[in-house]
Amino acid sequence: MTDSEPKRFTIDGSAELETRLASICQQVRQGVESIVPASRLRGILLGGGYGRGEGGVFRAGAGDQPYNDLEFYVFCTGQAILAERRYRHALHELGEHLTPAAGLEVEFKVLTQRKLRSSPASMFYYDLVLGNRVIAGNESLLDGCEHHRHPEHIPAHEATRLLLNRCSGLLYSLERLRKTGFGAEEADFVGRNLAKAQLAFGDALLTVLGKYHWSCQERHKRLETLSLNAELEWAAPLPGLHAEGVAFKLHPVPTPVDRNRLTARHSELCGVGRKLWLWIEGRRLGHTFDSARDYALSPCDKCPETIGLRNRAVNARTFGAAAALGPGATRYPRQRLLHALPMLLWEPHSRENLAAAQTELKAPSTDFNTLIAAYTRLWHRFN
């Protein structure tokens, strides 16, 4: 692509798909401008895969179709909290209005330059600042955000959070693989989450090593050339798995309804994910963990980047006033997910582990489906 050519939404999507996505962006701009007054609107950025020019292309009989969500970031003046309260509902309604015709989820998030500039480095902001498409406004929206442009500044707990979310996808896939009925919808869910995990495993490793990149293609190149010393011998499968994850991200395909094959693949990925999880967490927390259970039962703080006093308030809001004084009151609630996930995903047949997960999740029983429901409720708040 030359400098005179417009930036693409996809690597190789058809001209019709590119035009369709451009049309959606124009509708988004018009819709946002009808909601946010010109005096308060600074600009609109498209993030995610399509903002980075690496959006998914689903090739079907009706021609190339979009696959990923469209994630728009609306920059307003003033305080972020006030702007969010003022425009969140109307933007949500706009997204719901545009979604059916677009054929994919249209989502909005309200941001301010002040919030972006003052926020600490994270994978989310790095991806947004380095990989975006300007829908309204100009690149000056990102002035003063230089600290978000360096992958080596992304803290290790971001890799842990990425693993938490993608391994949660593996956990939800396990739930579906156990269901009595298993059809095309379940197979598609499992296949999609297996591919996301494959991509995330390599991405998490690169993040910890300070070699992350906003482009999934560039990340794969870096992963392929990574020198795997004796400490990283277990990571040998990651480049191959990552290649398959990138291929699915760029060109998703339907997953065949084959429970046995998907179960075997799920088991394989869980094995790789367990080794990666224990290595990253051991490196991050300065502690050796011999097993998933050892990690889950270890008393060390899994979220040391958080503030104890503030965690008391978060626990009180989440679990009731008594939680601010009880055991673990100074620990951030995400730690409960970090403890429960390894026991539910990697050692779900142990009664002792299920009982420990029940305690962490404050679930009414050790029934696996009940634990998954409790996990999901907490995950939606602290993922």
Residue 64 maps to which CATH number? 3.30.460.10
Within a domain: residue 3?
A: no
Place of tokens 């996990």: 375
Place of tokens 């927390």: 285
Examine the domain organization and report whether 254 and 316 are in the same domain: no
Tell me which of 149, 168, 202 is where a domain ends: 149
d(CA 381, CA 117): 25
Examine the domain organization and report whether 196 and 247 are in the same domain: yes
DSSP output for 133-172: EEEES-GGGGTT-GGGS-GGGS-HHHHHHHHHHHHHHHHH
Among left, alpha and beta (phi > 0; psi -120 to 50; other), residue 368 is alpha
Structural domain that includes position 364: 289-383
Q: What is the pLDDT of residues 342-353, one digit of tens each?
A: 999 998 888 999
Q: Could you tell me the pTM of the whole model?
A: 0.94
Output the six-digit token pair for 208. 């910890």
CB 51 within 8 A of CB 71: yes
Element (H, E) at 111: strand 106-112
Within a domain: residue 6?
A: no
Mean pLDDT lowest among 195-199, 325-329, 366-370: 325-329
Rounded to an integer, the average pLDDT of 82-92 is 96
Rounded to an integer, the average pLDDT of 241-263 is 97
Rounded to an integer, the average pLDDT of 173-183 is 94
Within a domain: residue 353?
A: yes
Q: What is the pLDDT of residues 107-164, one digit of tens each?
A: 999 999 999 999 999 999 999 999 999 999 988 999 999 999 999 999 999 999 999 9
Q: Using the predicted structure, report yes or no on whether residue 230 has a pLDDT greater than 90.
A: no
CATH of the domain at 248: 1.20.120
At residue 326 the predicted structure's pLDDT band, cuts being 50, 70 and 90, is confident
At residue 3 the predicted structure's pLDDT band, cuts being 50, 70 and 90, is very low
Within a domain: residue 8?
A: no
Within a domain: residue 4?
A: no
Within a domain: residue 266?
A: yes
Mean pLDDT lowest among 5-14, 190-199, 242-251, 263-272: 5-14
Rounded to an integer, the average pLDDT of 39-43 is 97
Residue at 207: amino acid letter: T
At residue 5 the predicted structure's pLDDT band, cuts being 50, 70 and 90, is low
pLDDT at 89: 97
How many Cβ atoms from other residues are within 10 Å of residue 267's Cβ? 11
Tell me which of 218, 252, 285 is where a domain ends: 285
d(CA 156, CA 188): 31
Q: Using the predicted structure, report yes or no on whether residue 368 has a pLDDT greater than 60.
A: yes
Q: DSSP class of residue 336? A: H
State percent of the chain over pLDDT 70. 98
Tell me which of 104, 126, 149 is where a domain ends: 149
d(CA 168, CA 372): 10
How many Cβ atoms from other residues are within 10 Å of residue 199's Cβ? 24
56 against 324, higher pLDDT = 56
Rounded to an integer, the average pLDDT of 173-187 is 95
d(CA 375, CA 292): 17
pLDDT at 231: 85
d(CA 188, CA 257): 8
Q: DSSP class of residue 254? A: P
For the chain, what is the mean pLDDT? 95
Examine the domain organization and report whether 187 and 117 are in the same domain: no
Rounded to an integer, the average pLDDT of 8-26 is 97
What angle in degrees, to the nearest 10, is found between the helix axes of 216-224 and 238-250? 160
d(CA 207, CA 69): 24
Examine the domain organization and report whether 259 and 360 are in the same domain: no
In total, how many domains does the chain have? 3
Examine the domain organization and report whether 209 and 243 are in the same domain: yes
Output the six-digit token pair for 101. 């015709």
pLDDT at 323: 87
pLDDT at 62: 80
